[in-house]
Amino acid sequence: MTTPPFEPDDYDDMIQVDPAELGCEWCLSGFAPAGTHHVLGLVYVACRHCTDTCPCCGGIGIFPADSTCQHCLTDALATLGYTATFCHTCVGILTVQRIEETTL
Protein backbone atom coordinates (compact mmCIF):
# COMPACT_ATOMS: atom_id res chain seq x y z
CA MET A 1 0.00 0.00 0.00
CA THR A 2 1.47 3.35 -1.01
CA THR A 3 1.22 6.36 1.23
CA PRO A 4 -0.34 9.48 -0.30
CA PRO A 5 1.91 12.54 -0.30
CA PHE A 6 1.80 14.95 2.62
CA GLU A 7 0.48 12.76 5.39
CA PRO A 8 0.35 14.47 8.83
CA ASP A 9 3.75 12.98 9.75
CA ASP A 10 5.31 14.72 6.72
CA TYR A 11 4.69 18.12 8.29
CA ASP A 12 7.02 17.34 11.20
CA ASP A 13 9.96 18.09 8.88
CA MET A 14 9.04 21.24 6.93
CA ILE A 15 12.24 21.09 4.87
CA GLN A 16 10.80 18.28 2.76
CA VAL A 17 7.56 20.18 2.08
CA ASP A 18 7.53 22.69 -0.80
CA PRO A 19 5.56 25.72 0.49
CA ALA A 20 4.25 26.43 -3.01
CA GLU A 21 2.42 23.09 -2.92
CA LEU A 22 0.63 24.04 0.30
CA GLY A 23 -1.48 26.60 -1.53
CA CYS A 24 -0.05 30.00 -0.63
CA GLU A 25 -2.80 32.62 -0.72
CA TRP A 26 -0.41 35.28 -2.07
CA CYS A 27 1.02 33.61 -5.16
CA LEU A 28 0.81 31.17 -8.05
CA SER A 29 3.52 28.50 -7.75
CA GLY A 30 5.89 30.84 -5.94
CA PHE A 31 5.28 33.98 -8.03
CA ALA A 32 3.01 36.88 -7.04
CA PRO A 33 1.46 39.34 -9.52
CA ALA A 34 3.32 42.66 -9.47
CA GLY A 35 1.45 44.78 -11.99
CA THR A 36 2.15 45.92 -15.52
CA HIS A 37 5.56 47.13 -16.69
CA HIS A 38 5.52 49.71 -19.52
CA VAL A 39 7.78 47.55 -21.72
CA LEU A 40 7.45 43.99 -20.37
CA GLY A 41 3.70 43.93 -19.83
CA LEU A 42 2.35 41.82 -16.96
CA VAL A 43 5.08 40.93 -14.46
CA TYR A 44 5.48 38.81 -11.35
CA VAL A 45 7.86 38.85 -8.37
CA ALA A 46 9.01 35.90 -6.30
CA CYS A 47 6.55 35.42 -3.44
CA ARG A 48 7.88 36.85 -0.18
CA HIS A 49 5.49 34.70 1.84
CA CYS A 50 6.47 31.21 0.73
CA THR A 51 9.91 31.52 -0.92
CA ASP A 52 13.27 32.75 0.31
CA THR A 53 14.26 36.26 -0.74
CA CYS A 54 17.05 36.33 -3.33
CA PRO A 55 20.29 37.08 -1.49
CA CYS A 56 21.63 39.05 -4.47
CA CYS A 57 18.83 41.44 -5.46
CA GLY A 58 16.76 41.32 -2.29
CA GLY A 59 13.69 40.12 -4.18
CA ILE A 60 13.30 43.15 -6.46
CA GLY A 61 13.72 41.14 -9.67
CA ILE A 62 10.62 40.97 -11.86
CA PHE A 63 9.56 38.15 -14.16
CA PRO A 64 7.50 38.82 -17.31
CA ALA A 65 4.35 36.73 -17.64
CA ASP A 66 4.74 36.44 -21.42
CA SER A 67 8.24 35.03 -21.78
CA THR A 68 9.51 31.60 -22.74
CA CYS A 69 13.23 31.95 -22.07
CA GLN A 70 15.85 34.54 -21.19
CA HIS A 71 17.38 34.53 -24.68
CA CYS A 72 13.97 34.96 -26.35
CA LEU A 73 13.20 37.87 -24.03
CA THR A 74 16.59 39.50 -24.69
CA ASP A 75 16.06 39.19 -28.46
CA ALA A 76 12.51 40.59 -28.24
CA LEU A 77 13.70 43.55 -26.15
CA ALA A 78 16.54 44.25 -28.60
CA THR A 79 14.04 44.29 -31.46
CA LEU A 80 12.12 46.99 -29.58
CA GLY A 81 15.32 48.91 -28.84
CA TYR A 82 15.69 47.91 -25.19
CA THR A 83 18.08 45.89 -23.08
CA ALA A 84 17.60 44.28 -19.66
CA THR A 85 19.84 43.72 -16.66
CA PHE A 86 19.28 40.36 -14.97
CA CYS A 87 20.04 39.26 -11.41
CA HIS A 88 22.78 36.63 -11.63
CA THR A 89 21.18 34.59 -8.83
CA CYS A 90 17.39 34.48 -9.42
CA VAL A 91 17.52 35.70 -13.07
CA GLY A 92 14.85 38.31 -12.33
CA ILE A 93 14.96 41.51 -14.37
CA LEU A 94 16.44 44.43 -12.46
CA THR A 95 16.35 47.17 -15.10
CA VAL A 96 15.04 47.74 -18.61
CA GLN A 97 16.82 50.48 -20.52
CA ARG A 98 16.62 51.92 -23.98
CA ILE A 99 19.62 51.01 -26.14
CA GLU A 100 21.51 54.18 -26.95
CA GLU A 101 22.59 54.52 -30.53
CA THR A 102 26.11 55.78 -30.93
CA THR A 103 27.06 57.94 -33.86
CA LEU A 104 30.53 58.06 -35.34
pLDDT at 2: 53
Domain boundaries, the chain: 8-98
pLDDT at 73: 94
Contacts of 20 (CB under 8 A, 6+ apart): 27, 29, 30, 47, 50, 51
Separation of alpha carbons 72 and 88, rounded Å: 17
The better pLDDT of the pair 51, 19 is held by: 51
Tens digit of each residue's pLDDT (9 = 90 or more) over 29-63: 889 999 999 999 999 999 998 889 999 999 999 99
Evaluate whether 59 touches 46 at the Cβ level (below 8 Å): yes
Mean pLDDT across the stretch 71-75? Answer: 94
**What is the band of 21 on the pLDDT scale with cuts at 50, 70, 90?**
low
Classify the phi-psi angles of 63: left when phi > 0, otherwise alpha if psi is within -120 to 50, otherwise beta. beta
